[in-house]
Amino acid sequence: MLFVLPAALYVVIFQLGPVLYGLVLSFSEYSPIKRSGPEFIGLDNYRALLDDPEFGRALLVTGRYVLQVLPFTVVIALVLAMLCNRSFRGVGFFRTAMYVPHIVSLTAVSMIWLWIYSDNGVVNELLGLFGLPEQRWLADEDAALNAASAMRVWKALGSNMVLLLAGLQTVPRDLYEAARVDGANAWRQFLAVTLPGLRPMLTYVLAMDIIYLAQGFSEIFVLTQGGPYGSTTTVNYLIYTEAFQYNQMGSASAMAFVLFAFIAGLSVIAIRFSQGRKA
């Protein structure tokens, strides 16, 4: 008991404690710039969110952001993992190069992509080579979220590839040999051997990606600051503005717990989908 006590205290004080305090604040009206403390108001913060079109739009933006990044990060990472699972010259360098974006902070990566998407950035220079007009990627209401999503796909590929590569290397080679003896071609081997063997790791990758993507903040803050016209305002960015620009800690806490429920719902759906026939 004494051995686990420091870890237990750490979890209770620094993890469970803030969560419980945030839950209490979500039922309160509280502004740090006022001298009075939190005032209990019941479910008023949650009721207000139901009638708040800005919050509803932020939920839709968050859902769209997750749905348009997740398939690309998983499918492309799986293809790269299967490629890296083969033996060829330079495979070690290729794996390292693909993993490098993951070890760079998301803020630093976002700063680089801010320049890439600028009027004189790489993307517009490439368009100019083909005689195409330049685009205002981050200032266009229809293009800004897609531009942020493309950056996020690039950032997430390396870590997903490494995780899926680890999953591929746990699939017994005997199963592939048995499938070949039965006459299975490469596609049938992928469906009958690779995907079932990779299912636990795929489930983990899907769940973790949903959790990280739905909490998107740094890239939005650096690239667009929620604009233009709220087209890239995710729930996490809205929580930031509510808490630290308008000092409405109670409302921000309520948003945080709704976001928690939203992430939990998406994760359950993804896990059930990835388990497929097994569920």
Is-contact 153 101, C-beta < 8 A? no
Q: Does residue 170 surpass a pLDDT of 70? A: yes
The proportion of the chain whose per-residue pLDDT surpasses 90, expressed as a percent, equals 68
Mean pLDDT of all residues in 36-54: 92
- Distance from C-alpha of 85 to C-alpha of 169, rounded to nearest angstrom: 7
User: Using CA atoms, how far apart are residues 9 and 138, in angstroms rounded to an integer?
Assistant: 45
**If 0-12 CB within 10 Å is exposed, 13-18 middle and 19+ buried, where does residue 53 land?**
exposed
Residue 236's pLDDT band (boundaries 50, 70, 90)? very high
For tokens 């026939």, what's the residue?
Answer: 277
Q: What is the pLDDT of residue 35?
A: 76
Closest by CA to 252, choosing from 268, 233, 239, is 239
Give the residue from 101, 143, 98 showing the smallest Cα distance to 124: 143
Per residue in 98-138, pLDDT (tens digit) is 888 888 899 999 999 999 999 888 999 999 988 888 888 99
What is the C-alpha separation between 75 and 59, in angstroms, rounded? 25
Write down the pLDDT at residue 88. 84
Round to whole Å and give the CA distance between 64 and 149.
10
Nearest-angstrom CA–CA distance, 261 and 279: 22
Whether 150 shows a pLDDT value over 90: the answer reads: yes
52 — pLDDT class (breaks 50, 70, 90): very high
* Contact status, residue 223 vs residue 114, Cβ threshold 8 Å: yes
174-215, pLDDT tens digit by residue?
999 999 998 889 999 999 999 999 999 999 999 999 999 999
pLDDT for 276 equals 65
Q: Tell the residue number behind the tokens 């409302």, with chain if given.
A: 251
278: pLDDT strictly greater than 60: no
pLDDT digits (tens, 9 = 90+) for 86-100: 888 888 888 888 888
Cβ-based neighbour number of residue 100 at 10 Å: 9
Q: Residue 120: what pLDDT?
A: 87
d(CA 98, CA 178): 32
If one looks up domain 53-275 in CATH, what number appears? 1.10.3720.10
CA–CA distances in Å: residue 231 to residues 10, 148, 183, 188, 223: 39, 11, 52, 42, 12
| Block residue for tokens 């949903």 | 210
What 8-state DSSP symbol labels residue 228? S
pLDDT digits (tens, 9 = 90+) for 2-35: 788 999 999 999 989 999 999 999 999 999 888 7
Q: What does pTM read for this prediction?
A: 0.88
The Cα–Cα gap between 194 and 187 comes to: 10
What's the rounded mean pLDDT across residues 139-143?
A: 91
Whether residue 277 has pLDDT greater than 70: no
Return the bridge partners of 39, or none: 29
Residue with tokens 């760079």: 104
Q: Where are the domains of the chain?
A: 53-275
Q: What is the structure's pLDDT at 279?
A: 43
CB 28 within 8 A of CB 250: yes
